[in-house]
Amino acid sequence: MTQAGPLTWRTGSGWLVLSGGEPPEPAESSILDTVTLRWAYPNRPMAILPTAGGSLNQLEELALGYGDLSGSEGYVVPIFGLNDAHQSENYQLLAESGLIYLADGPDALALVRALRDSPALEAIDQAYAEGASILGLGAAAMVLGAWVAGSAEGAQPEPGLGWVQNVIIEPRFAGSASAMRLRALLGAQPGCLGLGIPEGSALALGPDSQVETVGEGQVTVVLNQVRGETGAA
C-alpha cells in the first residue's frame, strides 16, 4: 500500500482519482479531461465501466470524445453484473487499457458486487500496476473506499473494494445533509475516516505518494466525532 498522511491506498504505477461527480453544468474542462491529459497511460485506450447504471448513450459519446482528446480509442466494457465480470473478453479490454473510468450512476452497490473478487477486478489491478490510471466518478468513487452506502432507503452499507484503505467516500459533498450522512456511516465504522468530495472536484492519489486536488472545490476530511474534524485542500 502507498501512504501520505492519513491516507493509504493501493500501490500501482498509475493514479487513483476520486471525483465527487460532474456538476449539472460542467466546466469547460472536465475532471475526465484533466485526468486524460495528465495521467492516462499514453497510447492505450480508455475502458468505461457502466455497471453503476449510468446512461449508455452518454458513455458511448464519452468514449468517442476520448479519441478526439487523446488520440487513443475509448470503449464501454459491457459489465452489467457478476457474470459479465467473469468474461475473458472483458478481462482483456480492461487489462489493455491506459485509463479505466468507473462511471457514475444510481447503483454503486451493483458496481461493487460485480467487481468484488472477480477477474475483471484482477484486470483493473493489472492495468493499474502497469501505469493505467483509475477514475471513479460520483457514486463509483465510493466503491474504491472501505464501505459503500446503498441508494435505497434503509439499505445497509456493504464493504467496498478497499483500494483506499479505511476511508468512506462521500461524493457530491455539499452542506449539512452530506456531512450528516457521512458521519452516520463513520459512526458505524469507527476505524474509518471520511472524505467529502464536492461536484466538479477530485482527489488524485499518485504512485509516489502524491496527493493532488483537481477542480475548485475543497475536499473535506472528516474524522470520527471522538477525534474531531479537519479540512484538506
Whether 3 is in a domain gets the answer no
Q: CA-CA distance, 129 to 78, in Å (whole number)? A: 23
Q: CA-CA distance, 172 to 23, in Å (whole number)? A: 9
pLDDT tens-digit series, residues 43-64: 999 999 999 998 999 999 999 9
Whether 1 is in a domain gets the answer no
pLDDT of residue 156: 80
pLDDT of residue 106: 93
pLDDT tens-digit series, residues 176-205: 888 888 998 898 888 899 999 999 999 999
Range of 129's domain? 9-231
What total of structural domains would you count in the chain? 1
Residue for grid cell 475548485:
216
Share of residues in the chain with pLDDT > 70 (%): 92
Whether 202 is in a domain gets the answer yes
Q: Which set of grid coordinates corresponds to residue 114?
A: 460485480
Interior/surface letters 170-189, b for 16+ CB within 10 angstroms, e for the rest? bbbbeeeebbebbbebbeeb
Phi and psi based region of residue 134 (left: phi greater than 0; alpha: psi -120 to 50; beta: remaining): beta
Q: CATH no. for residue 59?
A: 3.40.50.880
pLDDT tens-digit series, residues 122-181: 999 999 999 999 999 999 999 999 999 876 666 688 999 999 999 999 999 998 888 888
pLDDT of residue 151: 67
Whether 2 is in a domain gets the answer no
